[in-house]
């Protein structure tokens, strides 16, 4: 038995000076306290399990969005560049990795019990269905590029696409329109909207879970206060002990809980257990909220904003006087093939750290939007800042072109566009993407500004 437990029992034993009735009441009080502690432990376990499920559901919802965006990126890269590797990556995700399907299975398994759970599952299901609907247009576009570039039909889905009505001279333009046109973008927005609704529902469940936990803990504390108050009626001597060991710290705790502050340990061992349980629940809820927000918007490898964070910030920016820098790592696949994925990951981390170091202003945001593709958004940047951005890109290439320890050298291609009053998120992206495409055509490792 620990010293703290011995001291506690010694204090309890001193109550033998009072009547057997008081002793019996103290025994009942202790039993009631043990029951309440067990209830708190059980409540805490339920909270932990619920929050774990919500984290899993939210991550699965994020995977649906990431998988959809990944397929879009690969088909667009294939249509723009005509390189078969992007089509292979596309079908590896669609037919092998299957993040959308696995995420949907996870959400189906965990989303049971309430109407909100069913709504989460329904919205993610619609997002997956809409993503799959887009694949017909993507197969169509890929077949047009295969026909135009003379690339063999490796996949049945591409072979089966009916492109007979498209004239040979129109193949490239029709393919681009299929994956970059307004109809395609509108469907992508619907997918994002369904995922966003699911996120809101999950956040609502987390808040509801936190509020219920708070009410349950408050009820248990009030229950204990009632037991202690009943004991005070029996003997004045016990009243003095309870005042310093339970009542005073309990009142402090209640005020702290009402202010949603952390409760400081004070008083009896049982009370400290309750306080720690409450503090743990409160701390876990805060950490869960922060972690959910962070993980939903940040890339695990580089700690940059991910595609979700990119979409969230990009849609809310005022695009006039925004400088959009689209970044692509040159020859990254060859580095992966030659050095392995561990070194490839270190190369991506180095790129991310270098971009963040050169664009460290409060109004500059750096993203990893997929694979070896990055983006930088600089707000409130006038034309005088354009030269600065170009110079920074050149300095970044100069630095990355030198190996660093075991990390091999790499160069980047930069496509830059300056937002105007009439720009939308789509047109600004297209300008940067066109500038990047010109850099790639002219030999990579360069900077191109498309105004």
How far is C-alpha 419 from the geometric centre of its chain's CA atoms? 28
pLDDT the model gives residue 265:
63
Do 235 and 321 fall into the same domain? no
> How far, in Å, CA of 135 to CA of 138, rounded?
5
**Sign of the four-CA dihedral 335, 338, 341, 347:** negative
3-state secondary structure of 236: helix
> How far, in Å, CA of 141 to CA of 295, rounded?
33
Task: Give the domain-ending residue among 274, 297, 320.
Answer: 297
Do 178 and 77 fall into the same domain? yes
Do 185 and 279 fall into the same domain? yes
Do 74 and 173 fall into the same domain? yes
Instruction: Compare 268 and 316 and report the one with higher pLDDT.
Output: 316
Task: Give the domain-ending residue among 297, 326, 359.
Answer: 297
Token output for 378: 């600089």
pLDDT the model gives residue 217:
75
> How far, in Å, CA of 153 to CA of 277, rounded?
61
Q: 416-441 b/e with 16+ CB inside 10 Å = b?
A: bbbbeeebebeebbbbbbebbbebbe
Among candidate residues 308, 313, 326, 328, the one with its CA nearest the CA of residue 363: 313
> How far, in Å, CA of 199 to CA of 59, rounded?
10
pLDDT tens-digit readout, 246-268: 687 677 767 778 777 777 665 56
CA distances from 367 to 29, 102, 180, 323, 424 (A): 58, 26, 21, 14, 19
> How far, in Å, CA of 388 to CA of 371, rounded?
27
Number of domains comprising the chain = 2
Do 114 and 230 fall into the same domain? yes
**363 inside domain:** yes
Do 375 and 231 fall into the same domain? no
Any residues with CB less than 8 A from the CB of 100 and at least 6 apart, and which?
63, 64, 67, 68, 128, 131, 132
Do 121 and 5 fall into the same domain? yes
What CATH number corresponds to the domain at position 334?
Answer: 3.30.70.270
Instruction: Compare 288 and 23 and report the one with higher pLDDT.
Output: 23
**314 inside domain:** yes
> How far, in Å, CA of 288 to CA of 286, rounded?
5
Highest mean pLDDT among 4-13, 43-52, 194-203, 413-422: 413-422
Task: Give the domain-ending residue among 297, 324, 352.
Answer: 297
pLDDT tens-digit readout, 369-395: 989 999 999 998 888 889 999 999 999
Region 121-145: mean pLDDT is 90
Angle at which helix 20-81 crosses helix 269-297, to 10 degrees, equals: 10
**264 inside domain:** yes
Region 131-155: mean pLDDT is 91
Do 445 and 365 fall into the same domain? yes
pLDDT the model gives residue 410:
95
In terms of residue numbers, what domain contains 421? Answer: 307-450
pLDDT band at 22 (very low <50, low <70, confident <90, very high): confident
DSSP 96-139: II-HHHHHHHHHHHH--SSHHHHHHHHHHHHHHHHHHHHHHHHH
Least confident of 111-125, 306-320, 324-338: 111-125
**302 inside domain:** no
pLDDT band at 83 (very low <50, low <70, confident <90, very high): very high
pLDDT band at 237 (very low <50, low <70, confident <90, very high): low
Instruction: Compare 41 and 264 and report the one with higher pLDDT.
Output: 41
């Amino acid at each position: 038995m620990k010293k703290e437990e011995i001291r506690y029992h010694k204090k309890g034993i001193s109550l033998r000076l009072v009547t057997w009735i008081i002793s019996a009441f103290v025994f009942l009080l202790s039993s009631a306290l043990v029951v309440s502690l067990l209830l708190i432990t059980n409540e805490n376990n339920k909270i932990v399990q619920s929050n774990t499920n919500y984290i899993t559901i939210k991550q699965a919802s994020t995977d649906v969005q990431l998988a959809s965006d990944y397929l879009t990126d690969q088909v667009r890269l294939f249509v723009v560049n005509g390189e078969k590797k992007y089509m292979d990556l596309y079908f590896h995700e669609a037919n092998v990795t299957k993040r959308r399907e696995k995420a949907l299975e996870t959400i189906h398994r965990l989303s049971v019990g309430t109407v909100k759970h069913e709504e989460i599952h329904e919205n993610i299901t619609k997002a997956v269905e809409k993503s799959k609907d887009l694949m017909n247009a993507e197969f169509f576009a890929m077949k047009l590029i295969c026909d135009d570039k003379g690339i063999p039909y490796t996949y049945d889905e591409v072979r089966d696409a009916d492109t007979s009505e498209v004239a040979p001279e129109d193949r490239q333009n029709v393919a681009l329109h299929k994956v970059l046109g307004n109809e395609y973008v509108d469907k992508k927005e619907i997918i994002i909207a369904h995922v966003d609704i699911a996120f809101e529902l999950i956040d609502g469940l987390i808040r509801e879970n936190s509020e219920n936990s708070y009410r349950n803990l408050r009820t248990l504390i009030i229950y204990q206060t009632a037991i202690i108050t009943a004991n005070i009626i029996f003997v004045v001597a016990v009243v003095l002990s309870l005042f310093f060991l339970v009542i005073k710290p309990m009142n402090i705790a209640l005020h702290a809980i009402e202010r949603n502050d952390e409760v400081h340990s004070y008083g009896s061992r049982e009370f400290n257990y309750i306080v720690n349980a409450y503090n743990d629940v409160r701390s876990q809820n805060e950490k869960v909220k922060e972690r959910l927000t962070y993980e939903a918007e940040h890339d695990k490898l580089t700690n940059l904003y991910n595609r979700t964070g990119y979409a969230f910030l990009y849609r809310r920016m005022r695009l006039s006087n925004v400088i959009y820098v689209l970044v692509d790592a040159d020859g990254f696949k060859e580095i992966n093939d030659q050095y392995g994925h561990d070194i490839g990951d270190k190369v991506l981390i180095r790129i991310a750290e270098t971009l963040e170091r050169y664009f460290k202003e409060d109004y500059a945001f750096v993203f990893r939007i997929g694979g070896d593709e990055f983006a930088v958004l600089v707000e409130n940047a006038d034309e005088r800042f354009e030269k600065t951005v170009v110079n920074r890109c050149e300095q970044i290439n100069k630095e990355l072109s030198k190996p660093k320890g075991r990390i091999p050298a790499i160069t980047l291609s930069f496509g830059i566009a300056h937002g105007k009053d009439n720009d939308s998120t789509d047109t600004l992206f297209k300008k940067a993407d066109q500038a990047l495409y010109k850099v790639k055509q002219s030999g990579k490792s360069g900077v191109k500004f498309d105004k």
